[in-house]
């Protein structure tokens, strides 16, 4: 029996269907922060995923090329992707529909998740809503956006802030949205923690740890995934009226230091994490299409991202935060910035 869920990603609808109940349960957890669509609503995308052995018998024998993740073969509007025999995806760009197959639940889950975010992300780009690789929390309608490299400690800072002040509202620990006007809004994906990080944060009793589960990813190791409702914190549902933009730098010192920064000090960080999208959960093989007009679409998206980046830099209060080994002290300094209490 086929099961399905329909999710609205900031207005972009995706229908997920599968006979694998465990997959639907996992996806429901991953996207629990987003509203569900009614059966009457027509989603833009459909992803059908099945726990079956990949079959490459229908893959065309034409020219193939390799990406970082898979072997790609195109035929008309259809793209076949072979993930080293562990999974297989057929994506039809003309109907915006995907078929995903794998014998392993973890691989089926991971690829389905990334296909969805790749397509939803591009659609949002087309609407002038762009993801930035950063974490964000809010106090009233004032938002703090902290951008750091992958594995730099964004999620730790995110959880420490929520632990320190239960009145703060969540936007995302990984990829909030930035409009072309520079305002920031929520994109509430699941929270991902290394198993060791779960041990370090286990004292945070306000988190319902029982809702988490393990995922062993293709390239980035094992994560414990926590759905947004398990945080038991309020969610920011509006648009920022004031933004504090922070470039986080890890230092080997106990105390955190914060200093004001100009546009140029944060320019490279915003270009890398918003315009290029470095670190965002997505796969290029589902973003760059094999049909006419996509070069123009991608060019327009690039210009829109640049506009959003410049607006964010112009509108925000800008700081560089040197975050040390004392995570509680780091959170206190970031909270001062968010509350406007810094001397």
In this structure, of 35-39, 99-103, 114-118, 231-235, the range with the lowest mean pLDDT score is 35-39
Give the pTM. 0.94
Residue 67 above 60 pLDDT? yes
Indicate the burial class of 130 (C-beta count within 10 angstroms; 0-12, 13-18, 19 or more): buried
Tell me the HSE value of 132 on the side-chain side, using a 13 A CA sphere: 38
Q: Flag the least confident range among 62-71, 96-105, 266-275, 306-315.
A: 62-71
pLDDT recorded at residue 219: 73
Sheet strands side by side (includes 64-66): 3-9, 12-18, 45-50, 97-102, 87-92, 78-83, 71-75, 64-66
Question: What does the pLDDT read at residue 331?
Answer: 94
**Are 17 and 46 a contacting pair, CB within 8 Å?**
yes
Q: How far apart are CA 251 and CA 241, in angstroms?
A: 31
Q: Is the pLDDT of residue 37 over 90?
A: yes
Q: What pLDDT sits at residue 150?
A: 80
Is the pLDDT score of 53 beyond 70? yes
Place 62 in a pLDDT band, splitting at 50, 70 and 90: low
10 Å CB burial of residue 204 (0-12, 13-18, 19+) is middle
Q: Are 186 and 170 within 8 A, CB to CB?
A: yes
Question: For residue 343, what are the contacts with CB-CB under 8 A and spacing of at least 6?
Answer: none
**What is the arithmetic mean of pLDDT over 118-142?**
97
- Count structural domains, the chain: 2
Same domain, 297 and 308: yes
Q: Are residues 90 and 147 in the same domain?
A: no
Residues 3-31: tens digit of each pLDDT = 999 999 999 999 999 999 999 999 999 99
Rounded distance, CA 31 to CA 33, Å? 5
State how far the Cα of 123 lies from the Cα of 132, in Å rounded to an integer. 15
pLDDT at 343 over 70: no
Kindly state whether residues 88 and 7 are assigned to the same domain: yes
136 and 26 co-located in one domain? no
Our CA dihedral for 29, 31, 36, 37, rounded to 10 degrees, sits at -130
Residues 151 and 107 in one domain: no
Tokens of 47: 């992803």
Q: Bridge-partner residues for 242, per DSSP?
A: 142
Burial of 43: CB neighbours in 10 Å, binned 0-12, 13-18, 19+: middle
- Which one of 127, 161, 176 terminates a domain? 127
Q: Does residue 57 surpass a pLDDT of 60? A: no
Distance CA 198, CA 195 (A): 5
Same domain, 290 and 245: yes
Q: CA nearest 90: which of 42, 123, 50?
A: 50
Give me the chain's average pLDDT, please: 93
- Are residues 167 and 280 both part of a single domain? yes
Beta strands in 157-230 (DSSP E): 169-172, 177-179, 184-185, 191-193, 213-217, 221-226
pLDDT of res. 58? 58
184-6-134 Cα angle (round to 5): 25
Same domain, 112 and 256: no
Domain boundaries, position 234: 130-191+228-339
Q: Higher pLDDT residue, 292 or 157?
A: 157
What pLDDT is recorded for position 60?
62
């Amino acid at each position: 029996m086929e099961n399905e869920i329909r999710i609205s990603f900031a207005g972009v609808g995706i229908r997920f269907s599968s006979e694998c109940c465990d997959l639907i349960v996992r996806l429901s957890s991953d996207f629990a922060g987003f509203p569900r669509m009614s059966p009457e609503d027509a989603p833009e995308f459909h992803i059908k995923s099945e726990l079956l052995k990949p079959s490459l018998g229908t893959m065309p024998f034409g020219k193939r090329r390799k990406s970082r993740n898979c072997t790609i073969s195109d035929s008309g509007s259809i793209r076949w992707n072979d993930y080293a025999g562990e999974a297989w995806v057929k994506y039809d760009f003309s109907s915006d529909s995907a078929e995903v197959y794998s014998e392993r639940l973890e691989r089926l889950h991971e690829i389905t998740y990334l296909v969805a975010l790749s397509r939803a992300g591009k659609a949002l780009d087309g609407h002038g809503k762009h993801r930035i690789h950063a974490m964000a929390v809010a106090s009233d309608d004032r938002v703090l956006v902290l951008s750091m490299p992958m594995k730099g400690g964004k999620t730790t800072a995110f959880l420490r802030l929520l632990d320190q002040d239960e009145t703060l509202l969540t936007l995302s620990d990984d990829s909030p949205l930035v409009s072309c006007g520079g305002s920031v809004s929520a994109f509430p994906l699941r929270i991902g923690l290394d198993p060791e990080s779960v041990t370090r944060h286990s004292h945070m009793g306000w988190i319902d740890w029982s809702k988490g589960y393990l995922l062993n990813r293709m390239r980035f190791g094992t994560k414990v995934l926590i759905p947004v409702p398990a945080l038991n914190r309020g969610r920011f549902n509006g648009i920022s009226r004031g933004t504090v933009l922070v470039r986080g730098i890890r230092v080997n010192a106990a105390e955190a230091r914060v200093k004001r920064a100009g546009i140029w000090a944060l320019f490279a960080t915003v270009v890398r994490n918003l315009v290029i999208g470095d670190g965002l959960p997505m796969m290029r093989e589902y973003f760059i299409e094999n049909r006419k007009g996509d070069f123009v679409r991608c060019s327009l998206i690039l210009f829109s991202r640049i506009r959003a980046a410049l607006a964010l830099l112009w509108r925000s209060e800008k700081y560089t935060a040197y975050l040390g080994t004392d995570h509680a002290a780091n959170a206190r300094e970031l909270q001062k910035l968010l509350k406007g209490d810094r001397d």
